Structure 1
Amino acid sequence: MGRTVQSGKSDDADVIVVGAGPAGSSAAYHCAAAGLSVLLLDKASFPRDKICGDGLTPRAVAELVRMGVPLREQDGWIRNVGLRVLGGGHVVELPWPELSSYPSYGLARARTSLDHLLLEHARAAGAKVQERTNVTGPLVDERTGRVVGVQARPVDADGRRAGEPVEYRAPVVIAADGVSARLATGLGLEKRQDRPMGVAVRTYFETPRHGDPWMESHLELWDGKPGESDLMPGYGWIFSLGDGTANVGLGSVSSTAAATKVDYKDLFAKWMGNAPAEWEFTPEHQLGPVRGAALPMGFNRGPLYGRGLLLVGDAAGMISPFNGEGIAYALQAGRVAADAIVQATARGTAAGRERALATYGARMRDDLGGYYTLGRVFVKLIERPEVMRACTRYGLPRPLVMKLTHKLLADCYEPHGGDWADRTISALTRLAPAS
């Protein structure tokens, strides 16, 4: 639990952000750009690796554009034009839609590079960045019960203790501390067992496919020739990075937080053993080990705001149950959280500040709550192998079905207006409960 402290000590910043992934760096950037003093803490030293597919949808690209991040090819990005889907004996290419709300392209970049870029972007905006600082829990005011800072300790490059514990104080704290959600659990905010949980593993290969302009998704994984062997659980992806390499991985999702018993690394090895030789997905071309991570989904922890603490990104389970996408929502959450905090600083009373801070959770639920609820229904359906087989066999060849499905799964639809598919998805998300 968080340590209880007396009030009255001076603050170290207007806002403390814990965790310098996309959610934390986004929040730090937007707060600093608005003129607040920001202390951004992370236990790692950057650049550092992060388990991810490295693909960014147009929704994520729109957030990077809002931040003013340079997105040219010479800046280290590769653009993708859409999604290539393989399953049921079909190959379907689905271009990103032309919308007013989002650009018509996605991006890919290794998280080692992306997270470092966003961290430096926040620093350039004025955020004070402190690496190798392991935040161990919240500081709670003994009189008000509010979070007024964090407990931390310095660590070395290997994560070992490298100094005495220290406390940092601020009137508002943003928890962007990932799946571990140490600040939230320190306040007793446990994850919901009725929310989906995904698992993903990935590695990198040197490959001639590194310049493929399509993000590729394999809805069926076979341990031999397709149709002549056993179908394995999960789905796979190949995201080209344009630098001679590709991110190759697979994942699966459960409709509850219960742990699965699948050996994902063995499953990955079987899938790679069946890959075409010309892709060069072989051990001699593999760069680094196969590594895995949990994917908390569908707002699996809350409340998003309470007692001076805002939860953003994976700490709040903001990964989409539809596609495992988390970066777009992490960037969005950082922006919306920062806006609520900036507005709160302009309020003249404690009650007014609380009302402004509470808008963060309301805005995120209004925008994503119904969509995530639909995602939970989707996960329950595709958990049944016969449903998944029917969808890939009979749905993929039908353009109208796939247009709707693509926009729904990628969360790339016009929220107001648009064509029939956009209006259908918007209506569904409004009708679905946001809880």
Structure 2
Amino acid sequence: MTIDVLVVGGGPVGLAAAIEARLAGLSVTVLEPRATPVDKACGEGLMPGAVAALARLGVDPTGHRLTGIRYLSGTRVADHLFATSHGRGVRRTTLQAALARRADELGAQIVTGKAGDVEQDADSISCAGIRARWLLACDGLHSPVRRGLGLEVASRAHAGRRYGIRRHFRVAPWADLVEVHWGRDVEAYVTPVDDDVVGVALLGPPHRDYEDTLDAFPDLRRHLAGAPTIGPVRGAGPLRQRTSARTAGRVRLVGDASGYVDALTGEGVRVGLAQAHAAIATLGPDVATANAQYERAWTRATRSYRVLTSGLLAAAGSPLRGGIVPLAAATPRLYGSIVERLAR
């Protein structure tokens, strides 16, 4: 029997794609090698747009209300409170479990296994012994499906590659905002995810010791003084991933697998959910037409993220880095408009 959609990858974006498929009346199977929930390095801050997108899917994960974004560098502080609604800090495991419950409730089939080779003809694809009309590769930053299809663009330079490492601390949040502490070449993201838990993610060059790097942020260290750690340090990277296309016949790349700039603006989940919606909404009988529609929808869904994140990343890697927080503090309307553009 041929199903409508095979989703490779049971992370948040893959599960969201499965939910979208079921809401559209399509049969769907999710292929994931690991047991749910899977913990991975993630900033865990959901922008207001991501919270709204999850609500549309019937998903309402527990977490901590986020009222805005705060940039800090030395004595300089720039705050922006979200204009219309709140974000939410949510443990990745909590988010994935909530999405898995909703997918199961709607009748999505979740099976354990690895994708392996993908074969396709004019009418269907075949992968891991499953035949489907379409395959959505939601298998993450280092997508094996993307690599196997030849859609990956190799990075030319190793210099400038960035990685993320994250750990949780048992401490009451001292603010209802995502804090971004700007260091010399590392950013520390603090996200409240519960009434007594914060996650601290460090973004920067590779081969950094977590605790030693955290020492470069004395104000943050004081907030965390004596706080027990929860779980191990988890890492991800390199973060920058480029693709030559998001489609190959009946296969579509969705989420981080489709290309990634950086976690600097903290909106990966929002963009991934928008891609999952577009990937299902643009399915159609003519493959070439449907894929052209998805490529256009992908471009629209990711444009703000790609442009603004690339611009901020370029500034962060230049002599302008030290002026980012002072500029944000001195131009609150400009800073706020950028945050709102990314948050929606």
Matched, 1:268 2:230: no
Letter aligned with residue 285 of structure 1: P
Q: Distance in 1 between matches of 2:164 and 2:267?
A: 11
Corresponding residue for residue 311 of structure 2: 377
Distance 1:336 1:320, change over 3 A: farther
Q: Distance in 1 between matches of 2:166 and 2:206?
A: 18
Corresponding residue for residue 355 of structure 1: 289
Corresponding residue for residue 170 of structure 1: 132
Corresponding residue for residue 165 of structure 2: 201
Q: Deviations over 1:208-243 (max 9, x none)?
A: 32x7322111123xxxxxxxxxxx411111111224
Corresponding residue for residue 191 of structure 1: 153
Matched, 1:214 2:177: yes
Q: How many residues align?
A: 342
Contact 2:255 2:275 in 1 (8 A): yes
- The correspondence for 1:287, drawn from 219, 226, 230, is 230
- Mapping of 1:41-56 within 5 angstroms? 41-56=31-46
Q: Deviations over 1:349-368 (max 9, x none)?
A: xxx34312431111111342
1 or 2 for the larger relative contact order (CA 8 Å, sep ≥6)? 2
For the residue of structure 2 that corresponds to 1:14, the secondary structure is strand
Contact 2:40 2:235 in 1 (8 A): no
Corresponding residue for residue 32 of structure 1: 22
Letter aligned with residue 229 of structure 2: Q
Corresponding residue for residue 390 of structure 1: 323
Corresponding residue for residue 310 of structure 1: 252
Corresponding residue for residue 192 of structure 2: 240
Letter aligned with residue 172 of structure 2: P
- The correspondence for 1:182, drawn from 115, 139, 144, is 144
Corresponding residue for residue 431 of structure 1: none
Can you give the 5+ residue segments of structure 1 that lack an aligned partner in the other structure?
Answer: 1-9, 99-103, 152-166, 221-231, 253-259, 414-435
For the residue of structure 1 that corresponds to 2:163, the secondary structure is strand
Q: Distance in 1 between matches of 2:327 and 2:108?
A: 51
For the residue of structure 2 that corresponds to 1:136, the secondary structure is coil
For the residue of structure 1 that corresponds to 2:277, the secondary structure is helix
Distance 1:86 1:377, change over 3 A: closer
Distance 1:381 1:183, change over 3 A: same
Letter aligned with residue 249 of structure 1: A
Matched, 1:368 2:302: yes
Distance 1:364 1:185, change over 3 A: same
Corresponding residue for residue 425 of structure 1: none
Corresponding residue for residue 399 of structure 1: 332
Matched, 1:79 2:65: yes
- The correspondence for 2:105, drawn from 124, 127, 139, is 124
Larger Rg: 1
Q: Distance in 1 between matches of 2:182 and 2:300?
A: 30
- Mapping of 1:421-432 within 5 angstroms? none
For the residue of structure 2 that corresponds to 1:402, the secondary structure is helix
Q: Distance in 1 between matches of 2:109 and 2:330?
A: 52
Q: Deviations over 1:66-107 (max 9, x none)?
A: 112135xxxx22211111221242223210123xxxxx1101
Q: CA deviation at 1:18?
A: 0.5
For the residue of structure 1 that corresponds to 2:168, the secondary structure is strand
Distance 1:321 1:287, change over 3 A: closer
Letter aligned with residue 404 of structure 1: S
Q: CA deviation at 1:207?
A: 0.7
Q: CA deviation at 1:137?
A: 2.5
Q: Distance in 2 between matches of 1:399 and 1:91?
A: 11
Q: Distance in 1 between matches of 2:232 and 2:21?
A: 37
Contact 1:265 1:290 in 2 (8 A): yes
Distance 1:261 1:365, change over 3 A: same
Q: Distance in 1 between matches of 2:237 and 2:119?
A: 27
Q: Distance in 2 between matches of 1:371 and 1:331?
A: 13
Distance 1:313 1:216, change over 3 A: same
The alignment's TM-score, normalised by the length of structure 1, stands at 0.72
Letter aligned with residue 116 of structure 2: T
Distance 1:286 1:184, change over 3 A: same
Distance 1:251 1:37, change over 3 A: same
Contact 1:190 1:301 in 2 (8 A): yes
Q: Distance in 1 between matches of 2:340 and 2:156?
A: 26
Q: Deviations over 1:114-150 (max 9, x none)?
A: 111111211211111113x122231234xx5x87121
Q: What is the identity percentage for the equivalent residue pairs of Structure 1 and Structure 2?
A: 25
Corresponding residue for residue 95 of structure 1: 81
Q: Deviations over 1:378-408 (max 9, x none)?
A: 3222201x30112223442332332234335
Over aligned residue pairs, what C-alpha RMSD do you find?
2.5
Contact 1:147 1:309 in 2 (8 A): no
Q: CA deviation at 1:265?
A: 2.5
Q: Report runs of 4+ in structure 1 exceeding 6 Å deviation.
A: none
Q: Distance in 2 between matches of 1:184 and 1:362?
A: 19
Distance 1:87 1:405, change over 3 A: farther
Corresponding residue for residue 333 of structure 1: 275
Contact 2:172 2:195 in 1 (8 A): no
Contact 1:295 1:319 in 2 (8 A): no
The alignment's TM-score, normalised by the length of structure 2, stands at 0.90
For the residue of structure 1 that corresponds to 2:242, the secondary structure is coil
- The correspondence for 2:86, drawn from 105, 108, 111, is 105
Q: CA deviation at 1:311?
A: 0.3
Contact 1:305 1:357 in 2 (8 A): yes
Q: Distance in 1 between matches of 2:89 and 2:329?
A: 25
